[in-house]
Amino acid sequence: MQIFIDSADVLEIRRAAETGNCDGVTTNPSLIMKAGRDYNETLKEICSIVKGPVSAETVSLDADGMVKEGITFSKIAKNIVVKVPMTVEGMKACQMLTKKGIKVNVTLCFSANQALLTAKSGAFIVSPFVGRLDDAGEVGMDLIKDIKLIYDNYKFKTKILVASVRNTNHVLEAAKIGADIATVPYSVFEQLFKHSLTDVGIKKFLEDWEKVQKKK
Ligand code: G3P
């Protein structure tokens, strides 16, 4: 499973990329607001750091507007993927952009039927939001299981990207189900490397090594 960073913070993205475990990046207007920088400039910088897909989100509500924004984004770098929302207009834009050879990530997916329409519209990626479903009292990961089953049934090529990840357990469950990608906040990315017994083990090995040195 690929791991993307869900962030528009260039420092975080650079740190994640340095580990060799960051396969791509997803951004959205809320993340850009947090980063406080110009969107296109930020995207350009992110694309120079990470060679994998970098998602840039459109804000128009009509298909023509989304396509126009998508074409502009696609000129920033080869690895740009255009994000459109899961709406009727979003599906139209997805088909139009895909026909032009521009990869699309359909975002704000909350049901398996939405994911079915996304795949039928030729999207490169579907982004189901598991955390927000959990917040609403549903089980977000159940949606991933359903989408995986449907996509396998019909051999859809659309990649399942688990979004709105809140913790490392979401990542583990995504991998067990066989999702293609999980996009994670930097805080969760850091946690993936850690286990308390690893730290205890390193401490013990170093203490024993020092004892060996003292005996020499
Ligand atoms: O990028 C889309 C998604 O990951 C947003 O997550 O935490 O705002 O629900 P969140």
Residue 16 sits in a domain whose CATH number is: 3.20.20.70
**Helix 140-154 and helix 112-120, axial crossing angle in degrees, nearest 10:** 40
- Quickly state the pLDDT bin for 87 (edges 50, 70, 90): very high
pLDDT at 175: 98
Q: How confident is the model at residue 128 (pLDDT cuts 50, 70, 90)?
A: very high
Residue nearest to atom 6 of ligand 1 (CA): 164
Token digits of residue 104:
């699309």
Q: How much is the pLDDT for 215?
A: 86
Into how many domains does the chain fold? 1
Residue range(s) defining the domain that contains residue 194 = 2-215
For 165-169, the CB contacts below 8 A with 24+ separation are: 165/6, 165/130, 165/131, 166/130, 166/131, 166/134, 167/191, 168/192
Kindly state the helix (H) or strand (E) to which residue 3 belongs, with its residue range: strand 2-6
pLDDT at 25: 98
User: What residues flank ligand 1, with Cβ below 6 Å?
Assistant: 6, 26, 28, 129, 131-132, 163-164, 183
Backbone angles phi, psi at 92, to 5 degrees: -65, -45
The closest-lying atom of ligand 1 relative to the alpha carbon of residue 57 is 1
Q: Distance (Å, rounded) from C-alpha 125 to C-alpha 34?
A: 24
Least confident window among 28-42, 84-98, 150-164: 28-42
Question: Region 210-214: what's the mean pLDDT?
Answer: 93
Which tokens in the block code for residue 186?
């930097």
Report d(CA 126, CA 57) in Å as an integer.
Answer: 13
Catalytic-labelled residue, pool 34, 78, 83, 155: 83
CA of 108 to the centre of ligand 1 (A): 9
Spacing, Cα 163 to ligand 1 middle (Å) = 6
Q: What are 131's two structure tokens?
A: 């955390």
Identify the DSSP state of 37: S
Q: Measured on CA atoms in the order 67, 71, 76, 81, is the torsion positive or negative? A: positive
Report yes or no: 24 and 52 within 8 Å, Cβ to Cβ: yes
Q: Whose CA is nearest to atom 4 of ligand 1?
A: 164
Active site residue 148: no
Report the nearest atom of ligand 1 relative to the CA of 28.
1
Looking at the chain, the whole-number percentage of residues with pLDDT higher than 90 is 99
**Distance (Å, whole) CA 173 – CA 58:** 29
Q: How far is the CA of 4 from the centre of ligand 1 (A)?
A: 12
pLDDT at residue 216 greater than cutoff 90: no
